[in-house]
């Protein structure tokens, strides 16, 4: 086993402007409430009024009539006699076959 010791370690990346702003706002909050890192926070130091978030758009409830909304869709099924089979062109690509020549063409396409 070969261990390469000449590969330098990656330098830590500098924080982005967004990360620096977020860190500064967090530090401002800690300074505002006189909290030191690693210090347990008592509830008396936290703000007493909770922040309430309101919707920007009004909430309109939908009408509930108590009845189902639509009928069940009928299943689609081929009932004719023009199609002679289903061929597989590539992986899960199912192709309908209407003539014997179509089947021969599909088999030649798959094999080369």
Is a pLDDT exceeding 80 seen at residue 92? no
Closest CA to 19 of 30, 31, 27, 29: 27
Answer with the residue of higher pLDDT: 69 or 107. Answer: 107
Identify the residue with better confidence: 92 or 75: 75
**Residue 69 DSSP symbol:** S
The string of pLDDT tens digits covering residues 25-68 is 988 988 887 777 777 766 666 666 666 777 788 878 777 777 66
Give 88's contacts (C-beta < 8 A, 6+ positions apart).
Answer: 94, 95, 106, 110
pLDDT, residue 16, reads: 94
- Please report, for the chain, the start and end positions of each structural domain, with discontinuous segments joined by +: 82-112
Query: Burial, 102: exposed, middle or buried (Cβ in 10 Å; 0-12, 13-18, 19+)?
Result: middle
pLDDT at 30: 82
């Amino acid at each position: 086993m070969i261990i390469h010791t000449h590969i330098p370690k990656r330098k830590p990346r500098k924080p982005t402007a967004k990360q620096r702003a977020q860190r500064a706002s967090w530090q401002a909050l800690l300074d505002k409430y006189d909290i030191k890192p690693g210090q347990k926070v008592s509830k008396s130091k936290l703000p007493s009024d909770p922040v309430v978030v309101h919707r920007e758009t009004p909430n309109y409830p939908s009408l509930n009539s108590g009845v189902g909304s639509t009928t069940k869709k009928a299943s689609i099924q081929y009932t004719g006699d023009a199609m002679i089979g289903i061929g597989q062109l590539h992986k899960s690509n199912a192709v309908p076959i209407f003539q014997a020549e179509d089947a021969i063409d599909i088999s030649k396409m798959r094999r080369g």
